Amino acid sequence: MPIRMSHLHESQRIERLLRDVRDLVPEMSRRAQILDIEGRFPAHDFDLLRNIGALSAFIPQRFGGLGLGIDPGGASSLFAVLRSIGQGNLAVGRIFEGHANAIKLINTFGSEAQIERASEDLRAGHLFAIWNAETKDGIRVIGDKNQKLSGAKAFCSGAGHVTRALITATGESGMRMLLISLKVGERVKRMEVGLQGMRATETASMEFEGINISTNEVIGGLDDYTREPTFSAGAWRTSAVTLGGLDALIAEMQQQLRARNRHEDPHQLSRMGQALIARESARLWIERAARMEESIDCLVGTITGYINLSRIALESAAFDIIRIVQRTLGLSAFLQTNPVERLMRDLATYLRQPAADEALTEAAGWFIEHDFPENRS
C-alpha cells in the first residue's frame, strides 16, 4: 500500500506539471514574435518554467524529484512536456531539450555523487546544456597533472545564460564529457552573422580557454558520449519539440483560413487533411521512439535504428507541412509580421540536425538484417 500511494502521489505531481506547462503555452506563443525580432533570450519564459518546477523535474525520484525522463516510465510525460513547450516557442523548446539532454547524460554516465550535485543545482534553478559542436580546433584537454582546456565550442544555444554546460573535450586517450560551471554572460563570443531561425536561442560560440579541470567535473568514461543507444536515442526529444512547432504551424493555418472565410474551400480542406495526416504520422513515430529508448527487450541496433528512422519521418512530415502551409496561405505566409513566417524559419533551422543521411542508411542497413520491432502497444 505505501508504494502504491507513493506512485499515486508522483502521478499527481506529474499531471500538475503537465497542466502548468500547457497553461504557459498561449503567453509563450505571444511573446515568441517579439523575442524573435529582437533576438532576445526568453528569460521570462524560463523564469516561469523554473517557478512551476519544470527545470527541476529531472531530479531522480530517489532524491525527491519527479524523475521526468530519467526514471523508468517517464518518457511519455517528458514527450508531452517537450511537445507543449515547442508549441509555445521552438526556441524555448530547443534550450529546454538541451537542458533535459544534459541531465539525462549525467544520470546515465555520472557517479552517484555527481548525480546528487546536479540535482542540487537543479533545485537551485541552474540551466543546463549539452554543447558538442566544434569550432575549427575544437576543445582539447592539455597537461598531465594540472589539466586545462583549450579551444571553443560553436553553435551553443543559450550562450551566456546557461550556468552548467556539459561539453565534449578530446585528450590524448579519447573523448571525455566535462560538466563546467559558468557565470551568466561570461566566455561568450557572439557570431558575426546570425542564424536565419531560432534567433531567440542567442546561439553563439563559447570560449573555454584556460579553464582548470578537476576529476569531479569528468562525467563517465572515455567516449561515453557516443555510446549507443544513448547517443542516438536522445533524438526523440528534439523531435518531440519539433512536433510542438508543427502543432503551432497547423493551428495558425487553421486560424488564418477561418479569418479569410476560406476554411470551407474544398482545395483548402484537402491541404488541411494532408497536413493533419503528416503531423499524425510523425506523432506516432516519435511517441514510439520515446518508448523505445526505455525498452529492455530490444537490441541496441533496433533501438537506435528505429529512433533514427523516426527522425527522418519527422523531417519529411515537417517539410511536407511547410510546403502545404505556403501553398495554402500564399505570399502572406512570408510576411515578417505573420507568425507563420517565424515558425517556418525556426522549424527549417531546427530540422537541420547532423548526419541525417547517415542515420537513414545505417537504420535501413540494420533492418535489412534484423526484424523490424513489433508494435505491442
Checking if the pLDDT of 5 tops 70, the result is no
pLDDT digits (tens, 9 = 90+) for 136-178: 778 899 877 778 999 999 999 999 999 999 999 998 888 999 9
The answer to whether 92 and 244 are in contact (CB under 8 A) is no
Please determine, looking at this structure, whether the domain spanning 230-369 carries the CATH number 3.30.160.20: no
Give the model confidence (pLDDT) of 249-264 as tens digits.
Answer: 999 999 999 999 988 8
| C-alpha span between 74 and 71 (Å, rounded) | 6
Residue 294: pLDDT band by 50, 70, 90 thresholds? confident
CB 207 within 8 Å of CB 189:
yes
Could you state, in order of their start, the residue ranges of all structural domains in the chain? 2-127, 130-224, 230-369
Average pLDDT over residues 355-366: 92
User: 34 to each of 89, 313, 343, how far by Cα in Å?
Assistant: 11, 31, 13
**What would the mean pLDDT of 63-67 be, rounded to a whole number?**
95
Q: What is the mean pLDDT of residues 272-295?
A: 95
Distance CA 32, CA 29 (A): 5
CATH tag for 2-127 (out of 3.40.630.30, 1.10.1060.10, 1.10.540.10, 1.10.10.10): 1.10.540.10
Cell, residue 32 = 515568441
Identify the CATH assignment for 130-224 out of 3.90.1150.10, 2.40.110.10, 3.40.50.720, 2.160.10.10: 2.40.110.10
- What pLDDT was estimated at residue 375? 64
Q: What is the pLDDT of residue 324?
A: 97
Q: What is the pLDDT of residue 2?
A: 36
Q: What's the CA gap between 100 and 69, in Å, rounded?
A: 8
In which band, very low, low, confident or very high, does the pLDDT at 3 lie, cut at 50, 70 and 90? very low
Res 225: pLDDT: 95
Q: How far apart are CA 51 and CA 365, in angstroms?
A: 46
pLDDT computed for residue 28 by the predictor: 97
pLDDT for 64: 93
pLDDT band at 342 (very low <50, low <70, confident <90, very high): very high
pLDDT at 355 over 90: no
Percent of the chain scoring above 70 in pLDDT: 97
Q: What pLDDT is stored for residue 354 in this prediction? A: 78
Whether 198 has a pLDDT exceeding 50, the answer reads: yes
Burial class (CB in 10 A: 0-12, 13-18, 19+), 204: buried
- What's the pLDDT at 143? 79
Question: At 249, which helix (H) or strand (E)?
Answer: helix 235-259
Residue 221 confidence (pLDDT) above 80: yes
pLDDT at 146: 77
Confidence class of residue 376 from pLDDT cuts 50, 70 and 90? low
Q: pLDDT at position 1, please?
A: 30
pLDDT (tens digit per residue) in 9-42: 778 999 999 999 999 999 999 999 999 999 999 9
| Residue 155 identity | F
Asked if pLDDT for residue 4 goes beyond 80, the answer is no
pLDDT at 8: 53
Question: What's the sign of the alpha-carbon dihedral 73, 77, 83, 89?
Answer: negative
Q: How far apart are the first and last CA of the chain?
A: 28
Between CA 88 and CA 241 the distance in angstroms is 10
75-114 confidence digits (pLDDT tens): 999 999 999 999 999 999 999 999 999 999 999 999 999 9
pLDDT band with cut points at 50, 70 and 90 for residue 374: confident
Which range among 41-45, 190-194, 195-199, 211-215 shows the weakest confidence by mean pLDDT?
Answer: 190-194
